Amino acid sequence: MRPNTPSQYVIDEHGNRHGRHDEVARAGQGVVYRTADPGLAIKQPLKPGTDQLDDSKDFAALFRRIRSLPIPSRIPMSLPLAILRDQPGYVMRLLGSMEPFDVLDCQDFESYIATGSTKRRFYALYRCAAMLARLHAAGIVYVDLSTNNVLLGPGEMPEVWLIDTDNLRVEADNGPTVFTPHLGAPEVVQRTDSARPRTDAWAFAVLAFKLLTMGHPFLGKRVLGAQDEDAGWDADPVEDGVPSDRDEQAYAGLLPWILDQDDDSNAADTGLPAELVTTPRLLALFQETFGPGRTNPHRRPAASLWAWELARAFDTSLTCTNCRMSFLSDQHDKCPYCEAPAPRHVVARGPFGDKVYQGGKESIAVPARILEPFSPDSGDDIRYQVEIDFEAGTARPVRGTADLPPELGFEFRGSGR
């Protein structure tokens, strides 16, 4: 008989013993633990609202189903490697230094800066959107995107992994749909449709808006002021099938979003201003998703568009050397938060975009995405290595690498150090 609580050690189907260490992430369907091996982790299902293991799943069948999916190569996902023998769960690959996206879900300015400001968020979200785009192109739906199901590594350009692959399925499979509260698409929350790429796109857009602005896209004045407005005998009646709780109405997509261009009844001034932490193109994607896309799912921009625009936002971001907030260099010639002058930087200009680099004399890597049409698969591939000398104002190919093409130019800008 299987134990109903996790033990310190587990054994997989091949007889390998794994010690369970600290918890990496916890979501509605289970928990992920590190092991003594920094490249491996243990995923175990839990009964809802408890720390007891849920042994109702057939992990052998789950393992076989996931392995049969046409998952594209080079997608960093923690797929099952081996099923546990003595407890429900499985062994999966995981980099030891990773943390869940939840660390980016901050509620104060200081924490926002400490976790990388907008620049690190743009890159992490870009990599997440690129993975979703590649899955969708293969006909696969991720189903349950959340800040606990995506992990990121350290640094300004962190590695990003999807870890909860239990619910992966082909779009044609209309099986049971799960979602994380506050992130579910309206048609999923209202149970009028099942998981599809466009429901993944909704969850991603909500997640991106929260991480960038520190506010939920549907928690505006109709929700935050509802305690006073909706109380009493003269409160507006609630339609059949509509939750009476304004928070639940918002999360179900039954209210306009906080920046709706046609309805400002749910506007909000909380969090960071969207015009400071998004580009005009990103804001247009949010408008299309949460405006027309709220009731017409086919209007929602695909994950590939999100990946492209987030990469462009990252590529034009500078980090202020005074306050450490990052800002968009093509929209501001000085830091919009503290008004310090822009740090010196060089702009690499390609036929498909620009990329800024700040610093001193150093070698920089020019990615494929500014030299050729954007691809979620190869956008990060390095095409050229360039030696930058800010003092001399020169850009030359690193010795032993290919000559720079004529369509790649460099412009030196900024005076701050």
pLDDT tens string 43-99? 998 887 788 888 887 878 888 888 889 999 989 998 889 999 988 899 998 877 889
Check residue 353 and give its pLDDT.
97
Average pLDDT over residues 323-335: 96
Q: What's the mean pLDDT in 248-277?
A: 94
Q: Are strands 169-170 and 160-162 parallel, antiparallel or unpaired?
A: unpaired
Residue located via tokens 């799960």: 178
Q: Is the pLDDT of residue 234 over 90?
A: no
**Both structure tokens of 287:** 């408008």
Span 103-109, mean pLDDT? Answer: 96
> Residue 294: helix, strand or coil by DSSP?
helix
**Percent of the chain residues past pLDDT 70, beyond the cut:** 91
φ and ψ of 19, to 5 deg: -85, 130
The identity of residue 373, as a single letter, is P
What is the Cβ-side half-sphere exposure of residue 236, based on CA atoms within 13 angstroms?
Answer: 14
Position 242 confidence tier, pLDDT thresholds 50, 70, 90: low
Within 13 Å and on the Cβ side, how many CA atoms surround 202?
33
**CA-based radius of gyration for the chain:** 23
| pTM of the entire predicted model | 0.92
pLDDT at 6 over 80: no
Domains (range + CATH), the chain: 9-93 (3.30.200), 99-310 (1.10.510.10), 343-413 (no CATH)
Taking a C-beta distance cutoff of 8 angstroms, is the pair 2, 87 a contact?
yes
The predicted-structure confidence for 381-390, as pLDDT tens digits, reads as follows 999 999 999 8
Per-position DSSP letters for 199-242, written without gaps between them: HHHHHHHHHHHHHHHSS-TT-SHHHHTHHHHT-STTPPPPPTTS
